[in-house]
């Protein structure tokens, strides 16, 4: 579980499957304990010594020396759910191509209207 700088703190998810590390490089990283693979990276300037998972393990709280605390989803499916909860429509075809290139178009948020609806 390499970091380019000193690791200042670690914390395990409630189920013990993930490990979050806080580093002097300005990141908090989440690792799959079983595989050792980095599964998420959160950038925050001057991350303090520790972080904490929410009781359900879906969110990671980080703090920095400037007294900023962030609580955010770190799992990809959680990020999509949060985005869909804040949007009013799916991307247009032009927006999709701009941000996702040649990836085939699909509605990311099934409950929201598409660009032609």
pLDDT band at 46 (very low <50, low <70, confident <90, very high): low
**Do residues 34 and 13 share a domain?**
yes
**Do residues 14 and 65 share a domain?**
yes
What letter does residue 117 receive in the DSSP assignment? -
51 pLDDT higher than 90: no
Q: Which domain holds residue 94?
A: 75-112
**Do residues 43 and 94 share a domain?**
no
Beta bridge partners of 9: 22
Q: What are the tokens at 11?
A: 């914390």
- pLDDT of amino acid 115: 66
**Do residues 86 and 68 share a domain?**
no
pLDDT band at 56 (very low <50, low <70, confident <90, very high): very high
DSSP H or E segment with residue 73: strand 69-73
Query: Mean pLDDT score of the chain, rounded to an integer?
Result: 85
pLDDT of 99-109, one tens digit each? Answer: 889 989 888 88
Residue 68 lies in a domain: yes
Distance CA 13, CA 61 (A): 12
**Do residues 35 and 68 share a domain?**
yes
Residue 15 lies in a domain: yes
The owner of tokens 């920095």 is 64
Domain count, the chain: 2
Backbone angles phi and psi of 9, in degrees to 5: -170, 160
pLDDT band at 1 (very low <50, low <70, confident <90, very high): confident
Residue 1 lies in a domain: no
């Amino acid at each position: 579980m390499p970091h380019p700088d000193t690791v200042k703190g670690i914390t395990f998810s409630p189920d013990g499957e993930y490990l979050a590390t806080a580093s002097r490089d300005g990141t908090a990283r989440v690792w799959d304990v079983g595989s050792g693979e980095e599964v998420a990276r959160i950038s925050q300037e001057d991350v303090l010594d520790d972080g904490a998972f929410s009781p359900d393990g879906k969110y990671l709280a980080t703090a920095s020396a400037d007294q900023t605390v962030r609580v955010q989803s770190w799992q990809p499916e959680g990020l999509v759910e949060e985005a869909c909860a804040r949007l009013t429509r799916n991307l247009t075809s032009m927006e999709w191509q701009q941000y996702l290139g040649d990836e085939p178009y699909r509605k990311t948020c099934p409950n929201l209207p598409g660009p032609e609806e």
